Amino acid sequence: MPRFSYTATKDGKTIQGSAEAINREAVIALLAKENARALVIKQEAGKKDLAILNRLLGTNKVKLKDMVIFSRQLSTMISAGVPLPRCLATLEAQTTNKYFKTVIQSISKDVEGGISMADAFAKYPHVFSDIFVNMVRAGEEGGILDEILKRVAAQLEQDSSMRKKIKSASAYPTAIFVITVIAFFGIMLFAMPKIGKILLDLGGEDAKLPPLTLAMLAISNAMKSQAVLIIGGSIGTVVGIKWYISTPKGKYNFHRFLLRVPVLKDLIRKIAVARFARTFASLMSSGVTVLDALESTGGAIGNKVIEAELRAAAIEVKNGKQLSEPLSRSKNFPAIVSQMLAIGEETGQIDTILVKVADFYDEEVTTVIDSLSSLIEPIMIVILGGVVGLIAASVMGPIASLSKNIGT
């Protein structure tokens, strides 16, 4: 666990010290228990490098499967009347994820110290999302924490199922694409130079090679002579694009670009609608206010453009309008969503109606993913065959021509 050095004030005096904690927020909480207020908190250098390495290696991540198990088991134990500290101690002992174990341990200490579970969860935003925290807070306030945790687990399972479908559909096309790229670079860097030398040896210095063959040889020579520059440039480009996408402006522009790509834009919108409907319904049924539900739901959709639309809708709702009204003017939410939402607002059954909308769009997403998978696979095979065929044509053409010359 990282160690932090701190400077704080207590009873009008300045104190200094160090403490081991999962993050800076945990140090602040520890100091607050001692009636001290943090002024400066710094992570000690020796531990900082390890923390950075852990982030790069992904060791400070909690899998969705672990979160589902955690939510369901915690719900079951709370429903059975087991005290919270004992619930958390049991879950801490059962989990195999070392990072998650330390998180649960810290949460357990906070709960024993009188902090609400929602506030304890909120200290770890990379583990517990805003939606998770808000639903738990609503469950604590309403005395239905066990039921809320069941809903959270169901929501996480839906997200996990969606991700598995997308990964499954993209696995084969991705493999074909990687094979195509490796095969192209391998042939152009190692095979084409030797083939070109053989063709020139057979035809002599005055041999006239077809334009396609000359073009392929020129590309091969350029790739071989500028290999370091090409590889460095490619890596730099990928790193630069990733960095840009990680910035708020870059992520927004990237998400806006995705919403303009044919076929892909429909899939993204349907996934966003399904997530919005199910998440918003869960929050509303848990007693979360519309504005808080909109704020939390926007961050869970996964697209900054659509999230911005929901924020704009929240402003109109704050000014007294029904949510269905701004959504009816949305470019990304289908008309059926605003119409169904309007019916829910009139009947007071928003959560029930939105769950049905979410189920409908989950099926739509499955259908689109299946159709995309069946469409992309033959396209990738044709591309792979086209690359191999192009290289073969550039080689076999001059060989056939030279064999005729030799025959005559």
What distance in Å separates the CA atoms of residue 32 and residue 364, rounded to the nearest whole number?
50
Counts of helices then strands in the chain (DSSP H, E):
18, 3
Complete edge-to-edge strand list for the sheet that includes strand 3-10: 13-20, 3-10, 37-43
Sign of CA dihedral 126, 127, 132, 133: negative
What distance in Å separates the CA atoms of residue 384 and residue 388, rounded to the nearest whole number?
6
Give me the pLDDT at residue 50, please.
Answer: 46
Q: Give burial (CB, 10 Å; 0-12/13-18/19+) of 12.
A: exposed
Give me the pLDDT at residue 207, please.
Answer: 64
What distance in Å separates the CA atoms of residue 94 and residue 104, rounded to the nearest whole number?
11
What distance in Å separates the CA atoms of residue 289 and residue 164, rounded to the nearest whole number?
32
Strand-pairing partners, residue 37, are 9
In 56-205 the beta strands, taken as DSSP E runs, fall at: none
Q: State the helix-helix crossing angle for 130-142 and 290-301, rounded to 10 degrees.
A: 150
Ordered per-residue pLDDT tens for the chain, 408 residues: 567 788 888 877 778 787 777 677 777 877 887 888 877 777 765 444 444 445 444 456 888 888 889 988 998 998 898 988 899 999 999 998 888 999 999 899 888 888 888 888 988 888 888 778 877 887 887 777 888 888 888 878 877 777 787 777 778 778 878 887 888 888 788 878 887 777 777 766 666 777 887 888 888 888 888 878 888 888 999 999 999 998 889 989 999 999 998 878 888 898 888 888 888 887 788 777 888 888 778 777 778 899 899 989 999 999 999 999 999 998 889 898 899 999 998 998 888 898 899 888 888 888 887 777 777 778 877 887 887 788 777 777 777 666 666 555
Whole-Å CA distances, 394 to 185, 205, 213, 358, 398: 16, 18, 4, 53, 7
What distance in Å separates the CA atoms of residue 405 and residue 127, rounded to the nearest whole number?
71
Residue listed under structure tokens 């002024």: 39
Is residue 41 within 8 A of residue 55, CB to CB? The reply is no
If one counts every other C-beta atom within 10 angstroms of the C-beta of residue 165, the result is: 16
Dig out the tokens for 269 from the structure.
């919108």
Contacts of 399 (CB under 8 A, 6+ apart): 199
Is residue 270 within 8 A of residue 361, CB to CB? The reply is yes
